[in-house]
């Protein structure tokens, strides 16, 4: 427990350093807010990947995520942290991220399977940007969902990236047969690709990992009784 507390404090310091350096890049070196936001996004993902191995207590994770949720909400209310918030598009993605991390960690703690933490978060972190990049560069097969434009190219690239991500993680973290891994990975990729296609304004930060978790838990229970 003492180690977990110490690691939590180290991680809190790392998050504060991440935000501080982003502000320095924005104010001192005039780096565009889109770039500093991506810098914080990447750093945040890397740090949250350490939670299962460094923090062995759900309450510590909830406290850490809760503190940074308060910081983010306060910064938005009082127009602080422009390195994160000074972007043209307004989304709820940054607010939802600590909530999603907390939820995934609680599910991981309950079932003791690393895939329940890493698969949802890494699909969100890796596949969503891939879909966005491909959709912007090659806007093939444009379609609208709830009045917002998406592209078939972006959705397909998300699906492919999600299959690869899931395959690599499940093979590396869990003990399933190859055909089970393939079925789980394709199912997760399909569910999350649909969630990405039909969700807008940052709410895919919630729907993508929730969809992944739902499929993982469903198929986990199915294969556990075979």
Average pLDDT, the chain: 91
Structural contact between residues 72 and 95, judged by C-beta atoms closer than 8 angstroms: yes
First to last CA, the chain: 37
Predicted TM-score of the model (pTM) = 0.92
Concatenating the DSSP letter of every residue in 44-59 gives HHHHHTTHHHH---HH
The answer to whether 123 touches 114, Cβ cutoff 8 Å, is no
Tens of pLDDT, residues 14-41: 999 999 999 999 999 999 998 998 899 9
Q: How confident is the model at residue 201, as a pLDDT?
A: 77
> What residues contact 25, with CB distance under 8 A and at least 6 apart?
31, 35, 36, 39, 83
Catalogue the E-assigned strands of 9-89. Answer: none
Res. 122: pLDDT tops 80? yes
Question: How far apart (Å, rounded) are the C-alpha atoms in residues 57 and 196?
Answer: 31
Residue 208: pLDDT band with limits 50, 70, 90: very high
Is 224's pLDDT higher than 70?
no
pLDDT in tens, 69-119: 999 999 988 888 898 887 766 667 788 999 999 999 999 999 999 999 999
**pLDDT score of 89:** 61
- Residue 145, SS3? strand
């Amino acid at each position: 427990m003492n180690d977990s507390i110490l690691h939590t404090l180290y991680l809190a310091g790392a998050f504060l350093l991440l935000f501080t350096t982003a502000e320095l890049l924005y104010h001192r070196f005039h780096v565009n807010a889109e770039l500093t936001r991506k810098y914080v996004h990447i750093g945040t993902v890397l740090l949250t990947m350490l939670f299962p191995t460094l923090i062995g207590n759900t309450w510590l994770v909830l406290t850490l995520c809760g503190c940074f949720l308060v910081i983010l909400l306060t910064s938005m209310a009082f127009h602080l942290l422009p390195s994160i918030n000074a972007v043209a598009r307004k989304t709820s993605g940054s607010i939802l991220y600590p909530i999603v991390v907390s939820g995934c960690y609680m599910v991981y703690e309950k079932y003791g399977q690393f895939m329940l933490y890493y698969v949802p978060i890494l699909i969100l972190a890796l596949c969503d940007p891939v879909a966005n990049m491909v959709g912007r560069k090659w806007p093939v097969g444009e379609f609208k969902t709830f009045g917002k434009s998406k592209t078939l190219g972006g959705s397909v690239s998300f699906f492919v990236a999600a299959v690869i991500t899931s395959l690599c993680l499940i093979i590396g973290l869990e003990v399933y047969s190859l055909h089970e891994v393939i079925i789980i990975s394709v199912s997760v990729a399909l569910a999350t690709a649909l969630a990405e296609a039909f969700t807008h304004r940052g709410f895919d930060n919630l729907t993508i990992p929730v969809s992944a978790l739902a499929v993982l838990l469903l198929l986990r229970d199915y294969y556990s009784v075979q």
